[in-house]
A and B are shown apart, each in its own frame.
Chain A
């Protein structure tokens, strides 16, 4: 965390190498988290990239005593949920003549099982089991009551267990 704080401080002062260190450290998980929620590699790339751009825009206001990861993950996961909801709404209201792209990309039983969950549940599972946040931290990140996080985790895991 100490070195991350130094990288944030360096980036705030204009150091590109410090920014790159932050990017290299956080992009893979940000991208993977987005992908596991949206199940679309191109959308995940956009979401992770735009989240970093948003972070850069607000870098001067960032409190460097706080960890960078949760700040970024909050942006990523909320954008991913929004993207998935918007996609589902479109699918319900419009004719779909082409196969859904995500169906072509499902790779493995875990991913397929995740795809069957609602986006809110996917996000909670990803935050808990990929990014290893506690339920309390997830509640704070997503602006949800802790009980809601726990119930989504429970239902999500039950559903995964049934599918797998």
Chain B
């Protein structure tokens, strides 16, 4: 029996061992307390305050975020994402697929999806493969799927009971109901750039057109609400904010780190290293969202 159990072939065993060793080795290297640079905390605290004043949406806010990431450096970094500093769950996409990270740090690979987005209240995830749009529960169970060519940039919006998903297929902007029904073409002339559901407005979507304008439409009626809207309608926050609004997280690809920053008092910064290896990714993962506590 032992020999049979030992001879069972497990695909990717060697790669799995080396990935795990990279993470374990890094965690071990960071075990001993590293000497702290006394100078970064005051600078970082000032930087956080400036972030709050500058606003996370603005270009100046982005610039300050870059500065703070440089200031924090790697010395204060945890070797692995042991936990999130606030309630909620992170949705992350990496070369290995889409992942959900719970507050206790446990991670679940939903499947080999290249892009993903939370549903408005975090009960579901919509994800894209090459030729498929898929709605999932947060444990990776497929609720429905839609075969479409070259699916990209799915975004889920709406109310708790009535939602819509915008996505690109073959370069065209399409919309489907949250239950997978009613798929239709919304605009063949949209530029392939992430659309943004408008807050406080029922099923209104802002997106960029190929002529450089930003349009806002009611996706249910197809009526144009604004054919030349401000570009700010499409801006995404420079940092992902926790559901309780107290923490932000940004990815720092060059250092292979996530940097969590507490916006209120007491000021805190938590960095996490070895991010790519933890998500089994050659390239730095993308944080798609930090959503609602389960």
Contacts and interface: CB of A to CB of B under 8 A. Distances in A.
Interface of A: 11, 14, 16, 19-20, 23, 27-28, 31-32, 35-36, 41-42, 44-46, 48-50, 52-53, 56, 59, 87, 90, 94-98, 105, 107-108, 110-111, 126, 129-130, 132
Contacts of A111: 8
Q: Categorize the interface residue count of chain B.
A: 35 or more
A8 B141 CA distance: 41
Which 5 pairs between the two chains have the least Cβ-Cβ distance?
Answer: A98-B142, A49-B20, A129-B1, A45-B16, A130-B5
Interface stretch (B21-29, B199-207, B212-220, B256-264): B21-29
8 contacts: A20-B25, A31-B20, A32-B8, A49-B23, A90-B139, A94-B141, A97-B141, A129-B2
A107 B20 CA distance: 23
Contacts of A27: 17, 20-21
A16 B80 contact: no
Interface in B1-55: 1-2, 4-6, 8-13, 16-17, 19-21, 23-25, 27-29, 31-32
A102 B4 CA distance: 19
Contacts of A19: 24-25, 28
Given A32-B8, A94-B141, A129-B5, 18 more contacts: A16-B28, A31-B10, A32-B5, A32-B10, A41-B12, A41-B13, A44-B16, A45-B16, A49-B19, A50-B106, A52-B20, A53-B27, A56-B31, A59-B31, A96-B142, A110-B5, A111-B8, A130-B6
Given A16-B29, A31-B13, A46-B107, A126 B20 contact: no
B23 A36 contact: no
B80 A53 contact: yes
A32 B2 CA distance: 12
Interface in B188-227: none
Nearest to A109: B4
B137 interface: yes
B255 interface: no
